């Protein structure tokens, strides 16, 4: 029988936070996105593939900060280079630092669609820049989107505070369904600026889907036929599915690509990369700027991270270990008799519970993730997990064991 964790300090800080910040903290980190009362709310520190909360509970971190931690927490080689750069040179200037050029040259070397790039801070920055560039280049209005692309006006799912006119020209289509995409293209023929898609499907709280055979190629062909800019949102898949992203692994090259998260192992950086003739509108027609976009700490971190990813063949290792881990989960779920589903691609595993009309799948999900966190494995009920390079065999054994015991408890 499992027992609740001691979360006394987390709850004290959570109570205080609600008097300081609306909701205590923003968005997906609020307790209702986990299991309230069972998950910690405040983290104290991380090391390698594990994190420790403010009450001293230790966890295998399989959420990996929602994706940026591809190597591990407190990666010494990267942090040392960043600290040395800060001490020797500083990092926030009125002009750009030469590391900008070095990073973009590396991106151009690795990412098939990258001829030029714009460095930004977050995934939402990158996807919104992509939409602005596509509209500036084509002179068209409509955006067809598939997947989560951030919190900005054109794509945010929660429309509170937004006039309808700010998102009325964005239209959603389902993943792995070429007919639905073509129907939208026909409806808005001649006025579609861009198709924005996550090349691996990862809808909230639903199964993660790899592209069906021929699907991404079909999307590419439709974009060409209807003269729309094809944008791959590789914020999650870039540098994790392969060094060149999902486009490299699956062999389909978009016009523009958004990358971030794993690019710098947790440092705040993202980029919009793409074909030079399309990106050229940023010179005069399209305005993209921020005080902090050129900060050099993040470019140093990104270069150092990519160096480790290349040198240690990290993506190959994640794919190999993730394949074994997914196979193990599939056997555990099949043997359990519990109506759960294992999905994902090897670096991004997920366990979900199929929807039921009576809503009992929600109770199963809550009970399952309660049992998992009590056993020291940090996963998220509504978001897929990740395999990190610093996850040890012991970490993955603990994760698989916790999942097996949780299903038995159900």
Tell me the per-residue pLDDT of 200-257, one tens digit each, with 9 for 90 and over: 999 888 999 999 999 999 999 999 999 999 999 999 999 999 999 999 999 999 999 9
Domain identity same for 28 and 145 = no
Q: Which of 293, 311, 329 is a domain's end point? A: 311
At 360-387, the pLDDT tens digits run: 999 999 999 999 999 999 999 999 999 9
Domain identity same for 223 and 367 = no
Domain identity same for 403 and 262 = no
Non-local CB neighbours of 401 within 8 Å, separated by 6+ positions: 375
Tell me, yes or no, whether 141 lies in a domain.
yes
Asked if 85 contacts 300 with a C-beta cutoff of 8 angstroms, the reply is yes
Predicted TM-score (pTM) of this structure: 0.97
Q: Which of 283, 311, 339 is a domain's end point? A: 311
Tell me, yes or no, whether 286 lies in a domain.
yes
Tell me, yes or no, whether 363 lies in a domain.
yes
Domain identity same for 223 and 279 = yes
Is 90 exceeded by the pLDDT of residue 345? yes
Domain identity same for 276 and 356 = no
Among residues of the chain, what percentage have pLDDT more than 90? 98
Torsion over CA: 129, 134, 139, 140 (sign): negative
Q: Over the chain, what is the mean pLDDT?
A: 97
Is 80 exceeded by the pLDDT of residue 101? yes
Confidence of residue 52 (pLDDT cuts 50, 70, 90): very high
Q: Report the CATH number that the domain containing residue 236 is assigned in CATH.
A: 3.40.640.10
Domain identity same for 252 and 103 = yes
Domain identity same for 136 and 213 = yes
pLDDT for res 132:
98
Range name among 165-169, 205-209, 302-306 with the lowest pLDDT average = 205-209
Is 80 exceeded by the pLDDT of residue 1? no
Is 80 exceeded by the pLDDT of residue 318? yes
Query: Helices 296-311 and 76-89, interaxial angle, to 10°?
Result: 150
Q: What is the largest CA-CA distance in the chain?
A: 64
**How many residues appear in the chain?**
410
Its domain, for residue 22, covers 8-74+313-409
At 56-74, the pLDDT tens digits run: 999 999 999 999 999 999 9
Tell me, yes or no, whether 3 lies in a domain.
no
What value does the CA radius of gyration of the chain take, rounded to a whole number of Å?
21
Domain identity same for 34 and 114 = no
Q: Which of 311, 337, 360 is a domain's end point? A: 311
How far lies 73's CA from each of 57, 386, 394, in Å?
Answer: 16, 14, 17
Q: Report the CATH number that the domain containing residue 398 is assigned in CATH.
A: 3.90.1150.10
Domain identity same for 248 and 357 = no
Tell me, yes or no, whether 159 lies in a domain.
yes
pLDDT for res 357:
92
Domain identity same for 234 and 347 = no
Tell me, yes or no, whether 1 lies in a domain.
no
At 106-139, the pLDDT tens digits run: 999 999 999 999 999 999 999 999 999 999 999 9
At 133-163, the pLDDT tens digits run: 999 999 999 999 999 999 999 999 999 999 9
Domain identity same for 248 and 343 = no
At 279-289, the pLDDT tens digits run: 999 999 999 99
Domain identity same for 321 and 206 = no
Is 80 exceeded by the pLDDT of residue 38? yes
Please tell me the distance from the alpha carbon of residue 149 to that of residue 131, in angstroms, as a whole number.
Answer: 11
Give me the mean pLDDT over the 399-407 stretch. 98
pLDDT for res 205:
85
Give me the mean pLDDT over the 379-404 stretch. 98
Ordered DSSP codes for 157-219: S--TT--GGGTTTEEE--TT-HHHHHHHHHHTTT-EEEEEE-SSB--TTS--BPPPTTHHHHH
How far lies 189's CA from each of 90, 92, 168, 368, in Å?
Answer: 50, 45, 16, 46
Tell me, yes or no, whether 67 lies in a domain.
yes
pLDDT for res 65:
98
Give me the mean pLDDT over the 90-101 stretch. 97
Tally of domains in the chain = 2
Give me the mean pLDDT over the 25-51 stretch. 97
Tell me, yes or no, whether 2 lies in a domain.
no
pLDDT for res 204:
84
């Amino acid at each position: 029988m499992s027992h609740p964790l001691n979360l006394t300090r987390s709850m004290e800080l959570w109570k205080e936070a609600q008097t300081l910040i609306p909701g205590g903290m923003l968005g997906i980190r609020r307790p209702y996105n986990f299991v309230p009362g069972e998950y910690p709310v405040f983290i104290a520190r991380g090391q390698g593939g594990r994190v420790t909360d403010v009450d001293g509970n230790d966890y295998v971190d399989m959420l990996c900060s929602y994706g940026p931690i591809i190597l591990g927490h407190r990666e010494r080689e990267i942090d040392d280079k960043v600290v040395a750069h800060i001490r020797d040179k500083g990092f926030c200037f009125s002009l750009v630092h030469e590391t900008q050029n070095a990073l973009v040259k590396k991106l151009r070397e690795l990412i098939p669609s990258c001829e030029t790039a714009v460095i930004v801070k977050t995934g939402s920055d990158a996807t919104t820049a992509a939409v602005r560039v596509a509209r500036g280049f084509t002179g068209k209005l409509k955006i067809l989107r598939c997947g989560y692309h951030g919190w900005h006006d054109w794509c945010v799912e929660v429309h509170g505070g937004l006039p309808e006119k700010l998102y009325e020209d964005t239209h959603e289509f389902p993943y792995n369904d070429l007919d639905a995409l073509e129907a939208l293209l026909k409806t808005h023929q001649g006025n579609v600026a861009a198709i924005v898609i996550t090349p691996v499907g990862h809808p909230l709280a639903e199964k993660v889907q790899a592209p069906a055979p021929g699907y991404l190629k079909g999307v590419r062909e439709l974009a060409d036929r209807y003269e729309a800019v094809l944008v791959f949102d590789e914020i999650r898949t870039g540098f994790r599915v392969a060094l060149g992203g999902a486009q490299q692994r699956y062999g389909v090259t978009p016009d523009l690509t958004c990358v971030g998260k794993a690019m710098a192992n947790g440092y705040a950086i993202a980029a919009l990369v793409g074909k030079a003739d399309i990106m050229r509108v940023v010179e005069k027609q399209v305005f993209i700027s921020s005080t902090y976009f050129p900060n050099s700490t993040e470019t140093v971190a990104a270069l150092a991270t990519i160096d480790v990813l290349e040198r240690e063949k990290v993506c190959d290792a994640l794919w190999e270990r993730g394949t074994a881990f997914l196979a193990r989960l599939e056997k555990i779920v099949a043997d359990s008799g519990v109506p759960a589903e294992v999905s994902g691609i090897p670096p991004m595993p997920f366990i979900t519970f199929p929807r039921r009309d009576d809503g009992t799948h929600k109770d199963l999900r809550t009970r399952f993730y309660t049992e998992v966190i009590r056993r020291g494995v940090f996963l998220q009920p509504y978001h897929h997990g990740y395999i990190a390079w610093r996850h040890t065999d012991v970490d993955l054994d603990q994760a698989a064991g916790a999942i097996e015991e949780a299903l038995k408890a159900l």
